């Protein structure tokens, strides 16, 4: 009972943060994260030629990073528009705009690092599979 309540609170907080960052930018990053994780798992299960999978993960990771910083740019523009519309700079208005502008890059960088770690592990797995210690003894 307590565990499910705690899980509900965490999920609600996470969804609130996604919405604070602007759903137009955060939800595509979430979809890309899921896609990258699926591709990494596919690469580990396939174990043969992962060159195309690694290239696709690399491209998706760079796209995710660019999309996140595009979201930051739009967030900053929206924050400055809100400040201009209010006519004065209040700490609440500034904090709200900066929070929106920083969530997307934080999430995008996290997805980028997960993808890069997956690429490193896939390359390491390939190198381990290519190395055959018995061939050096002949």
Question: How many residues would you count in the chain?
Answer: 138
32, 63 in Cβ contact below 8 A? yes
Assess if residue 104 is contained within a domain.
Answer: yes
Per-10-residue mean pLDDT for the chain, 138 residues long?
71 74 87 96 85 94 96 86 83 80 91 96 82 54
22, 74 in Cβ contact below 8 A? yes
- Name residue, tokens 């740019």: 73
pLDDT for res 131:
66
pLDDT for res 138:
47
Assess if residue 11 is contained within a domain.
Answer: no
* Residues whose CB is less than 8 angstroms from the CB of residue 16 and which lie 6 or more positions away in sequence, other chains included: none
Assess if residue 122 is contained within a domain.
Answer: yes
Give the distance between the most distant pair of CA atoms in the chain.
80
Assess if residue 8 is contained within a domain.
Answer: no
Number of domains in the chain: 1
The parent domain of residue 54 ranges over 26-130
Q: Give Cα 86 distance to the centre of its chain.
A: 33
- What pTM value is reported for the model? 0.81
pLDDT for res 1:
65
pLDDT for res 106:
92
108, 67 in Cβ contact below 8 A? yes
Assess if residue 89 is contained within a domain.
Answer: yes
């Amino acid at each position: 009972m307590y565990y499910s309540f705690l899980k509900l609170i965490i999920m609600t907080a996470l969804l609130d943060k996604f919405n604070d960052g602007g759903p137009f930018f955060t939800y595509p990053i979430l979809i890309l994260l899921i896609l990258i994780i699926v591709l990494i798992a596919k690469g580990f299960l396939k174990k043969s030629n992962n060159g195309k999978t690694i290239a696709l993960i690399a491209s998706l990771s760079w796209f995710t990073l660019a999309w996140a910083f595009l979201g930051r740019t739009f967030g900053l523009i929206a924050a400055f528009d809100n400040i201009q519309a209010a006519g004065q700079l209040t700490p609440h208005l500034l904090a709200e705009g900066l929070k929106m502008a920083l969530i997307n890059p934080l999430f995008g960088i996290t997805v980028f690092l997960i993808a890069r770690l997956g690429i490193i592990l896939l390359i390491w797995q390939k190198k381990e599979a290519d190395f055959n210690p018995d061939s050096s003894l002949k």
